[in-house]
Structure 1
């Protein structure tokens, strides 16, 4: 039984991510939790109001959010009729990151699925601010779905790695399950000018191979020109359906999230983007 958490702000982007998630796990038994965190809606426009007005607005937004979430869950039930799926809506008066982290810990969530942007997203940005915050701080794998892309089975999965990270077995198991379910090939892309690996890299590469027993795993190398361009070029040339990266200290993704922004670097995925967290859980 998979436990899937999907944040929603009731935007078209969020609805698209929900549809994608339901297709991805169509044949698996799964609990889907739809969470709406509304603290920012209350604090944002009403931070200068008096206490009584604030509480009134908080209750009004909470009630409206609950009604909208119940409507969403009922519509999904009527549309899907999937006996393998269970649906539940949750509203939370917290920030999105806090709400997601708390619920992830309480329900031992396997995967968080969300759109790359929300209602107020800047059209010039690749990822909305909430999505980037979730990438950075949520201790759970995150699958970001670009808006408007059709559902395609992930037959070709790109997994760039420098083999310097001791990956978490639980998260690799998630990747192995997806690869097995869709009979996918995982392309482990090593971006380096040198073929030789250190003893640490060899150990981590072997651990990666042992942890993906049900996947068709291939190891490929490309020379360093620009790591992000190399990833996007490989994605396009070999028709990848899913990009997988790991968020950890000293990783390529950390460099992209912390030292610069994804948009400045130019990562504009046209395929789903799975971020695995190498963080304590």
Structure 2
């Protein structure tokens, strides 16, 4: 059974993403591991010589009580969608979000991560461009499905896949095709051929031959406006989920800049599937 990690802070954004996580779990016949993290403040113990541990214990208890109150709400959402049969377990961890995600992936043998993200300059941009966060999430070896706050769930019929026809891209495409088979979806691959592109027709034809028996099609768009071409592709091909590879350092800083993020989040409210491929 596939294991899906769902980090949540119980915010509206996270609650919306929970619906996607539930449906994703149903699609891949998996189970959900709900993760909530909290960080304890740092105090100078010399000012709290007697009540130091009591203070921390009370803070931990308040987090636990909040956790207990929120979980039934999520279970109610699952029941409303007739998905209460999906197995759900819970983890409450002290520490930073990135640390907790990395730890949970290893300890719980996670196959996928699904989480909500805010649009605009305080959402995708700040989250993914933060140095430590970007480094961790571009190195984890499981697919990450990021769900914008306004993305309404709908069945996945078309998965977009950006490629440069490299060996590492082929590995990623095979992972995406596995997900597509679960969903009964087709994959549409986009290659933006710039004036400096070095991919020849023979390479493209070889890919088409290699994947001829799969539900995948390839589109080559001549343009030097890569990001704009991606946005057009999402619109014209009615892409439900966009896949992007995260092997390139600084990937998130480039693709999730404030102006582009705004276009994604306000115009194309679709999840982004990030797949890390090591060089």
Shorter-chain TM-score: what band? 0.7 to 0.9
Q: Distance in 2 between matches of 1:111 and 1:174?
A: 11
Name the residue aligned to 1:257.
252
Q: Equivalent residues in 2 for 1:235-274 (5 A)? A: 235-249=234-248, 254-258=249-253, 260=254, 262-264=256-258, 266-267=260-261, 268-269=263-264, 270-274=269-273
Shift of 1:165: 4.4
Give a deviation string over 1:75-114, Cα, whole Å, max 9, x none: 3334424464111111111211111111101122111111
Report SS of the residue matched to 1:221: strand
Name the residue aligned to 2:160.
158
Structure with larger RCO (C-alpha < 8 A, sep 6+)? 2
**Aligned CA distance change for structure 1 residues 27 and 266 (closer, same or farther; 3 Å):** closer
TM-score by length of 1: 0.79
Give a deviation string over 1:28-73, Cα, whole Å, max 9, x none: 432211111212xx23xxx454364664444333222222223333
Name the residue aligned to 2:107.
106
Name the residue aligned to 2:57.
59
Q: Is the 8 A contact 1:143 1:275 kept in 2?
A: yes
Name segments (4+ residues, structure 1) moved above 6 Å: none
TM-score by length of 2: 0.79
Q: Equivalent residues in 2 for 1:140-219 (5 A)? A: 140-167=142-169, 169=171, 172=173, 174-193=175-194, 197=199, 205=207, 209=211, 215-219=214-218
Structure 2: unaligned runs, 5 residues or longer: none
Q: Distance in 1 between matches of 2:126 and 2:56?
A: 23
Over the residues paired in the alignment, what is the CA RMSD in angstroms? 3.2
Q: Does 1:127 align with 2:124?
A: yes
Report SS of the residue matched to 1:197: coil
Structure 1: unaligned runs, 5 residues or longer: none
Question: Which is greater in Rg?
Answer: 2
**Aligned CA distance change for structure 1 residues 164 and 28 (closer, same or farther; 3 Å):** closer
Shift of 1:229: 0.9
Shift of 1:146: 0.6
Q: Distance in 1 between matches of 2:250 and 2:19?
A: 31
**Aligned CA distance change for structure 1 residues 28 and 247 (closer, same or farther; 3 Å):** closer
- Comparing 6-15 with 175-184, greater Cα deviation is found at 175-184
Q: Distance in 2 between matches of 1:205 and 1:64?
A: 55
**Given the alignment, which residue of 71, 74, 91 partners 2:72?**
74
